[in-house]
């Protein structure tokens, strides 16, 4: 009861404080952007990636899997990045590869973060036995060498896009759970939690309506940073031949395929690698900036 | 303090036990039969049955597990199904390679990552700081296997140069060749961790520099550098050491891709191929070993942490 | 010098005994110059010295130079050693087995004009159509060793023990198949006489006996040793010093080899690489003397980086195939099988993967010379015809056929998969690839649990083996890897062809058998015949090119000019 009122009051106050009109909001956004140029750069990189991924069929000059040119040729007018060992247009494959990377990245991180946060919140809030057990499991999972965990699970499930997403998500969950739990532990001390409990709000309600929203920024920051690692993880798996199955245009798989015909095919190795690097760079820059903006405690350390 | 240690030890043991079960079950459950792999095209039912008996695969799962644990405790890690070599033998040959790789990687991290992080923190928001931070982000963004590929092949293509491939040369045999082999590999492996440690050192140092006791020291008249060296650095490096410990745990077990590309006969490759080939004895033992190393290092780091930071001891 | 120059190569024993040579053509030719090590030309008809370089003696032959003894010869490959069992190594012992052990003879269909290389057997004769008698040399000493194997000459008992081990199904050797189907018994008549008696006349006795994958002769004490798979002790030109899985194998010259003066190479090193790109880099930076390139373009490109090498192109027995399980839908319908084959265009694989270099092949690959159907005929009998494919699908009621197929995740296979899926798409078929790591794939393949599979095939030493894919109970005769295809006409044709001792008749019979098989819409066909592209350093003299596995018999003639 009190909790509800309090929240409403906060909301009203917030409304009152909110600058009236889009112009002011824009100005604030501009100020934030100016203070975080790298973050903006990151955001632009990601935005480009998303656009490319969404409109891949429109942007790519050739459909994937079409052997449109002579094999292993360098950049030319017809093929911006050259052709790979099959004669496929590298530019088209990189563009379509953006789709796969985004799909794997966002889905894996999305699932992993949500599940990880849920576990972290439950564990952190409920404490006691539940917390102890969950934390031991998390420790175990973290102790297990990552790549090997991925390998073993992929062997059991078999290589496919869905399984890669699953595997990467599984790899993310323990780390997220641990960090979120830490944050929940400190949140739990706050006054409003006690107040809510005093008014008889159930544990679930508190977790959902109070704690979760407060650890959400942390979750977003973690997720953004994790997107970079997720994409690297998918690339590594595909590089080893256990990721996205051919002939899907995965950047990691394309680099792997190109190596068997280096030195002829430097281009086929170069461009997907650049694509991965720029994508991960974008997410890292954005993640850093977000962390600086959303997490006031760290602002001082900038 | 003693209770803390005891508790951590018990937890470590429990974790290892869970991992052993997980590994065991996962390997047995996934499709494929190691006997077939060993025998190849002409495997006969009799031969397969024989291999199954030899590996104990015809017994119930629980019995197999107990048998395996018994073997490991006795130090008998079994033989590779595919090559018939003893796992202990292979281990003994490969461990020094992985160890040197890890130590050299750590060396790069400490020698490059920490100083750069310190400079970056001290010269906060200066161009130097921005340059270092950009470098760090780049280091985190490029895929290691891509850099490794280019590192190996571009010099070969342009200048016909490559480090000795295919046989590991010991440090005392020929230090130069040895460093030629391990140098580039460890540096590439260190790229990502260097970036992490750079950032961590920077933020940790900045955090410490903000603290009250630093202000007190400054107020006492101590000069900047002395302040940093004596007070701030020691405390700032605590979390860094923790993370270094965790990193080394990962490095010891893995580096799979780097080993493959640079043709280093290490444990990472061994684990990878044994998992692919369902070479049970090898895969199980190696994964357990890796997990044990990770748990052990975590334990040491935790204890070290407790020693360094009195506040932790009493939680 | 090697036997082949001095002895039987010149068509001395005609008719029946000529037929003995497993259908080998005893033709003269410059190829002989290879075996003669460039020292002096035999009276090889039609073999002018200028042709020597092309035919076989690799790089800079110095015809009258004395071979230098010693030096370190370095080769590499991608893959594990996986043990050195003389009769059953998954990767053929990766080049170790055929040079540590001797064989009775060596021979290969890829180079029939080479005739037979005599090793432990100084001669062989065939008194009746079902008996082959080998006379052994008395001085092939077993190598010095630390495993307690006595250093004595190899005798007929060793030969018998070796073949009987192959005949034992528990050894899981490839050689089990021919022995089980055709051999009645082995006999050690005396210390230097060994006899093979077959159940009925069989044309491929010598070919199988000369096959390096499963016919090594092993001292009988060593056969009984538990270390048989880990170490090798034979009577061959090289002594195995060490094998490091994931590292390298080191062999040294056998100073007591029965062929005096040979081998020339002092140390023979075989490096195992997990990674093709690293293997290539090792070659371009002079850490290896030989490199096997995946296609002609790469070989040519690499020559630009490493200029002191030569590019040798030779026939290869390897190829990738498509295998269908006819016990499962839709493969039980021959129209579907034919439709899929009509939708495949081998030329595209040749173009893209072979970089323009390759051959259309029927059930028997071009490397087996006259036994293979001519390319023109293959194009006629198994054409690329997408129209017909679509019609067949319609007739079979499956215009939008969807099927799954499995394949191992090695890089060269994936290349084929890419093209294959596309070609299926073009006629409306959805082919869903299911990649599996090699281990799982082998296991399921073995039990015929795959529905359809795209994969590399082992090199089959002779046409009998090659056609066993189409025989009831399959390639190994015991149901393994069996497609489930069974046609008594085909069975009879294959069996009959293997029993014809006259070479001309036999070739005709095999070609008829292939036409018959093709007409039955086979559940197994090959994409295209590839050529091997090997780069060899100029310092390597007498590299045995174009000889397939027979080449291992000539490793003793290699010497290093440095």
Q: What is the pLDDT of residue C536?
A: 95
Query: CB under 8 Å to C518, separation ≥6 — which residues?
Result: C362, C363, C381, C382
Closest approach of chain A CAs to the CA of C385, in angstroms?
19
pLDDT greater than 90 at residue C221: yes
How confident is the model over B95-125, as pLDDT tens digits? 888 889 989 999 999 999 999 988 888 887 7
Above pLDDT 90, what percent of chain C?
49
Q: What is the pLDDT of residue A299?
A: 41
SS3 content of chain C, % helix, strand, coil (to 5): 35, 20, 45
Yes or no: say if C389 and C428 are a contact pair by the CB < 8 Å rule: no
How confident is the model over C306-364, as pLDDT tens digits? 889 999 998 888 788 999 989 888 899 999 999 999 999 999 999 888 888 899 999 99
B83 is a domain residue: no
The boundaries of the domain holding residue B36 are 2-73
Chain B, residues 160-179, CB within 8 A of chain C, namely 160-162, 164-168
Yes or no: say if B48 and B36 are a contact pair by the CB < 8 Å rule: yes
pLDDT greater than 70 at residue B131: yes
Q: How confident is the model at residue C241 (pLDDT cuts 50, 70, 90)?
A: very high
Where does residue B311 rank: exposed (0-12), middle (13-18), buried (19+ CB within 10 A)?
exposed
Tell me whether C298 touches chain A (CB under 8 Å): yes
Could you give the maximum distance between any two Cα atoms of chain B, in Å?
Answer: 85
B88 is a domain residue: no
> What's the CATH number where B103 sits?
1.10.3720.10
Phi-psi region of C546 (alpha: psi -120 to 50; beta: other; left: phi over 0): left
Query: Do residues B160 and B60 share a domain?
Result: no
Closest approach of chain C CAs to the CA of B45, in angstroms?
9
Q: Domain C321-526: which CATH class?
A: alpha beta
Element (H, E) at C135: strand C131-136
B230 is a domain residue: yes
Q: Enumerate the β-bridge partners of residue C75.
A: C270
B315 is a domain residue: no
Total H helices, total E strands in chain C: 20, 20
Residues of B in contact with A277 (CB under 8 A): 138, 141-143, 146
Read off φ and ψ for residue C124, nearest 5 degrees. -145, 145
Tell me whether C479 touches chain B (CB under 8 Å): no
Q: What is the pLDDT of residue A302?
A: 38
B49 is a domain residue: yes
Above pLDDT 90, what percent of chain B?
6
Q: How confident is the model at residue C392 (pLDDT cuts 50, 70, 90)?
A: very high
Distance CA B72, CA B89 (A): 15
Higher-pLDDT residue of A45, C9: A45
Q: What is the pLDDT of residue C508?
A: 95
Tell me whether C81 touches chain B (CB under 8 Å): yes
What average pLDDT does the structure give for chain C?
82
Residues of C in contact with A259 (CB under 8 A): 275-277
Q: What is the pLDDT of residue C63?
A: 56
Tell me whether B154 touches chain C (CB under 8 Å): no
Q: What is the pLDDT of residue C13?
A: 31
Neighbours of chain A (3+ CB pairs under 8 A): B, C
Q: What is the pLDDT of residue C2?
A: 26
Q: Locate C218 and state its tokens.
A: 């092993």
Q: What is the pLDDT of residue C48?
A: 31
Per-block mean pLDDT, blocks of 10 residues, chain A (302 long): 41 47 73 77 88 84 74 76 79 87 90 91 82 80 69 70 86 86 78 75 72 80 84 83 75 79 68 90 84 59 38
Residues of B in contact with A232 (CB under 8 A): 143
B217 is a domain residue: yes
Q: What is the pLDDT of residue B36?
A: 64
CB nearest to C411's CB, from A65, A242, A257: A257
Q: What is the pLDDT of residue A243?
A: 77
**Contact state of C435 with A155 under an 8 Å Cβ cutoff:** no
Cα end-to-end distance, chain C, whole Å? 22
Closest approach of chain A CAs to the CA of B75, in angstroms?
21
Residues of B in contact with A156 (CB under 8 A): 26, 29-31
Chain B, residues 174-203, CB within 8 A of chain A, namely 203
Number of other residues whose CB lies within 10 A of the CB of residue C471: 22
- Domain count for chain B, please give it: 2
Can you say how many angstroms the Cα of residue C352 is from the centroid of all Cα atoms in its chain?
Answer: 24
pLDDT greater than 80 at residue B192: yes
Tell me whether C272 touches chain B (CB under 8 Å): yes
**Contact state of A262 with C276 under an 8 Å Cβ cutoff:** no
Chain B, residues 115-144, CB within 8 A of chain A, namely 125, 133-134, 137-138, 140-144
Q: How confident is the model at residue C258 (pLDDT cuts 50, 70, 90)?
A: very high
How confident is the model over B170-187, as pLDDT tens digits? 777 888 888 988 999 999
Could you give the maximum distance between any two Cα atoms of chain C, in Å?
Answer: 71
How confident is the model over C46-93, as pLDDT tens digits? 223 322 222 344 454 555 688 999 999 999 988 777 778 898 765 555
B131 is a domain residue: yes
Query: Do residues B243 and B187 share a domain?
Result: yes
Q: What is the pLDDT of residue B129?
A: 86
B25 is a domain residue: yes
Q: How confident is the model at residue C37 (pLDDT cuts 50, 70, 90)?
A: very low
Closest approach of chain C CAs to the CA of B81, in angstroms?
9
How confident is the model over A12-53, as pLDDT tens digits? 444 445 555 667 777 877 777 777 777 888 888 889 888 888
Distance CA C458, CA C442 (A): 13
Q: What is the pLDDT of residue C46?
A: 29
End of a domain among B73, B88, B118?
B73
Q: What is the pLDDT of residue B82?
A: 63
Distance CA A269, CA A78 (A): 19
Tell me whether A158 touches chain C (CB under 8 Å): yes
Distance CA B11, CA A140 (A): 10
CB nearest to B166's CB, from C273, C439, C447: C273
Chain A, residues 258-287, CB within 8 A of chain C, namely 259-264
Q: What is the pLDDT of residue A159?
A: 67
Neighbours of chain B (3+ CB pairs under 8 A): A, C
Query: CB under 8 Å to C57, separation ≥6 — which residues?
Result: C33, C34, C37, C38, C541, C542
**Contact state of A281 with B275 under an 8 Å Cβ cutoff:** no
Q: What is the pLDDT of residue C391?
A: 94
pLDDT greater than 80 at residue C487: yes
For A190-217, b/e burial (b = at least 16 CB within 10 A) is eebbeebeeeebeeeebbeebbbeebeb
ipTM of the complex model? 0.74
Closest approach of chain C CAs to the CA of B275, in angstroms?
10
Q: What is the pLDDT of residue B160?
A: 77
Considering only A264-273, C423-432, C475-484, which range has the smallest mean pLDDT? C475-484
pLDDT greater than 90 at residue C182: yes
Higher-pLDDT residue of C34, A288: A288
Q: How confident is the model at residue C422 (pLDDT cuts 50, 70, 90)?
A: confident
CB nearest to B290's CB, from A148, A278, A281: A148
Tell me whether C172 touches chain B (CB under 8 Å): yes
Query: Do residues B65 and B100 share a domain?
Result: no
**Contact state of A159 with C435 under an 8 Å Cβ cutoff:** yes
End of a domain among B41, B73, B105?
B73
Q: What is the pLDDT of residue C69?
A: 93
Question: 3-state DSSP call for residue C270?
Answer: strand
Question: 3-state DSSP call for residue B152?
Answer: helix
Closest approach of chain A CAs to the CA of C278, in angstroms?
9
Q: How confident is the model at residue B38 (pLDDT cuts 50, 70, 90)?
A: low
Query: Do residues B34 and B143 share a domain?
Result: no
Considering only A261-270, B102-111, B143-152, C272-281, which range has the smallest mean pLDDT? A261-270
Tell me whether C432 touches chain A (CB under 8 Å): no
pLDDT greater than 50 at residue C236: yes
Q: What is the pLDDT of residue C140?
A: 95
* Sheet order of strands, C121-128 included: C121-128, C131-136, C193-198, C183-190
């Amino acid at each position: 009861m009190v909790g509800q009122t309090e929240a409403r009051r906060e909301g009203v106050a917030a409304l009152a404080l909110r600058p009236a009109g889009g112009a002011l909001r824009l100005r604030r956004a501009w100020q934030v952007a100016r203070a975080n140029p790298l973050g903006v750069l990151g955001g632009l990189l990601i935005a480009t990636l998303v656009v490319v991924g969404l409109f891949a069929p429109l942007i790519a000059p050739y459909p994937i899997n079409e052997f449109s040119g002579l094999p292993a040729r360098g950049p030319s007018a017809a093929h911006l990045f050259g052709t790979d060992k099959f004669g496929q247009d590298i530019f088209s494959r990189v563009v379509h590869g953006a789709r796969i990377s985004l799909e794997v990245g966002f889905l894996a991180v999305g699932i992993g973060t949500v599940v990880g946060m849920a576990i972290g919140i439950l564990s952190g809030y409920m404490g006691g036995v539940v917390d102890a057990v969950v934390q031991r499991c998390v420790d175990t999972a973290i102790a297990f060498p990552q790549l090997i965990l991925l390998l073993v699970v992929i062997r059991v499930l078999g290589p496919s896009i869905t399984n890669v997403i699953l595997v990467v998500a599984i790899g993310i969950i323990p780390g997220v759970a641990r960090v979120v739990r830490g944050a929940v532990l400190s949140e739990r001390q706050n006054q409003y939690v006690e107040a809510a409990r005093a008014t008889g709000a159930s544990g679930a309600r508190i977790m959902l309506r109070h704690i979760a929203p407060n650890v959400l920024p942390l979750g977003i920051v973690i997720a953004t940073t994790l997107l970079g690692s997720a994409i690297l993880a998918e690339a590594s798996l595909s590089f080893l031949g256990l990721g996205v199955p051919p002939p899907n245009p995965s950047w990691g798989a394309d680099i792997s395929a190109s190596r068997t015909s280096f030195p002829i095919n430097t281009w086929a190795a170069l461009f997907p690698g650049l694509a991965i690097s720029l994508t991960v760079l974008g997410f890292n820059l954005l993640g850093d900036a977000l962390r600086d903006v959303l997490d006031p405690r760290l602002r001082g350390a900038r | 303090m003693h209770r803390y240690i005891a508790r951590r030890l018990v937890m470590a043991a429990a974790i290892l036990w869970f991992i052993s079960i997980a590994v065991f079950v996962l390997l047995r459950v996934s499709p494929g039969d190691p006997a077939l792999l060993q025998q190849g095209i002409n495997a006969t039912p009799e031969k397969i049955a024989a291999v199954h008996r030899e590996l104990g695969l015809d017994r119930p799962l629980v019995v197999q597990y107990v048998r395996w644990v018994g073997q490991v405790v006795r130090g008998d890690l079994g033989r590779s199904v595919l090559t018939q070599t003893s796992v202990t033998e292979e281990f003994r040959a490969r461990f020094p390679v992985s160890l040197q790789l890890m130590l050299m990687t750590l060396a790069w991290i400490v020698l490059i990552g920490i100083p750069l992080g310190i400079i970056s923190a001290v010269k906060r928001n200066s161009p130097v700081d921005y340059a270092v931070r950009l470098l760090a982000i780049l280091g985190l963004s490029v895929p290691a296997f891509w850099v490794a590929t280019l590192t190996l092949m571009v010099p070969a293509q342009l200048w016909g140069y490559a480090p000795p491939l295919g046989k590991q040369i010991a440090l005392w045999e020929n230090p130069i060749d040895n460093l030629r082999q391990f140098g580039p590999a460890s540096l590439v492996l260190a790229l990502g961790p260097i970036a992490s440690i750079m950032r961590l050192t920077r933020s940790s140092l900045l955090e410490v520099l903000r603290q009250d006791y630093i202000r007190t020291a400054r107020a006492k008249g101590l000069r900047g550098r002395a302040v940093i060296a004596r007070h701030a650095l020691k405390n700032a490096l605590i979390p860094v050491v923790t993370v270094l410990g965790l990193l080394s745990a990962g490095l010891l077990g893995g580096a799979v891709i780097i080993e493959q590309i640079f043709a280093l006969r290490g444990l990472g490759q061994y684990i990878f191929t044994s998992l692919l080939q369902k070479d049970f004895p090898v895969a199980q033992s190696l994964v357990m070993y890796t997990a044990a190393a990770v748990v052990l290092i975590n334990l040491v780091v935790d204890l070290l942490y407790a020693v360094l930071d009195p506040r932790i001891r009493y939680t | 010098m090697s036997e082949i120059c001095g002895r039987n190569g010149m068509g001395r024993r005609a008719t029946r005994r000529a037929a003995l040579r497993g259908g080998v053509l005893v033709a003269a030719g410059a190829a002989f110059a290879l075996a003669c090590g460039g020292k002096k030309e035999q009276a090889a008809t039609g073999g002018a010295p200028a042709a020597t370089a092309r035919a076989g003696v690799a790089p800079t032959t110095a015809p009258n130079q004395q071979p230098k003894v010693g030096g370190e010869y370095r080769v590499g490959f991608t893959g594990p050693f996986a043990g050195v069992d003389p009769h059953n190594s998954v990767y053929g012992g990766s080049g170790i087995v055929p040079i540590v052990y001797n064989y009775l003879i060596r021979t290969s269909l890829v180079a029939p004009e080479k005739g037979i290389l005599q090793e432990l057997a100084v001669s062989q004769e065939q008194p009746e159509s079902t008996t082959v008698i080998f006379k052994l040399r008395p001085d092939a000493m077993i190598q010095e060793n630390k495993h307690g194997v006595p250093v004595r000459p190899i005798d007929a008992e060793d030969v018998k023990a070796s073949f009987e081990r192959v005949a034992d199904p528990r050894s899981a050797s490839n050689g089990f198949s021919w022995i089980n189907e055709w051999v009645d018994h082995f006999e050690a008549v005396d210390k230097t006489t060994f006899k093979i008696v077959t159940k009925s006349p069989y044309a491929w006795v010598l070919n199988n006996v000369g096959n390096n994958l499963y016919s090594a002769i092993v001292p009988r004490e060593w056969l009984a040793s538990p270390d048989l798979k880990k170490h090798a002790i034979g009577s061959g030109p090289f002594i195995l010093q060490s094998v490091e899985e994931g590292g390298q194998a080191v062999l040294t010259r056998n100073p007591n080899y029965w062929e005096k003066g040979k081998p020339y190479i002092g140390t023979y090193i075989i490096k195992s690489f997990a990674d093709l790109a690293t293997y290539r880099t090792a070659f371009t930076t002079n850490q290896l003397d030989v490199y096997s390139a995946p296609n002609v373009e790469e070989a040519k490109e690499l020559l630009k980086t490493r200029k002191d090498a030569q590019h040798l192109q030779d026939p290869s027995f390897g190829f990738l195939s498509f295998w269908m399980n006819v016990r499962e839908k839709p493969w039980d319908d021959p129209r579907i099988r034919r439709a899929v084959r009509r939708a495949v265009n081998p030329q595209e694989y040749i173009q893209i993967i072979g970089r323009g270099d390759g051959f259309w092949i029927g059930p028997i690959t071009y490397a087996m010379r006259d036994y293979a159907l001519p390319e023109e005929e293959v194009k006629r009998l198994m054409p690329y015809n997408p129209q017909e494919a679509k019609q067949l699908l319609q007739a079979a009621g499956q215009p939008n056929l969807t099927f799954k197929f499995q394949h191992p995740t090695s890089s060269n296979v994936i290349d084929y998969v890419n093209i294959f899926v596309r070609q299926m798409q073009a006629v409306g078929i959805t082919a869903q690839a299911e990649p599996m790591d090699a281990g799982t794939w082998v296991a399921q393949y073995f039990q015929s649990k795959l529905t359809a599979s795209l994969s590399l095939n082992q090199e089959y030493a002779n046409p009998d083996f090659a056609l066993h894919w189409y025989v009831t109970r399959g390639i190994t005769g015991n149901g393994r890897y069996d497609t489930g295809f069974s046609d008594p006409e085909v069975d009879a044709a294959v069996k009959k062809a293997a029993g014809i001792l006259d070479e001309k008749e036999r070739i005709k019979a095999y070609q008829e058998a292939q036409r018959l098989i093709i007409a039955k819409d086979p559940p197994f066909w090959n994409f295209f015949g590839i050529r091997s592209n090997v780069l060899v350093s100029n310092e390597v003299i007498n590299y045995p090119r174009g000889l397939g596995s027979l080449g291992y018999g000539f490793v003793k003639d290699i010497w290093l000019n440095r």
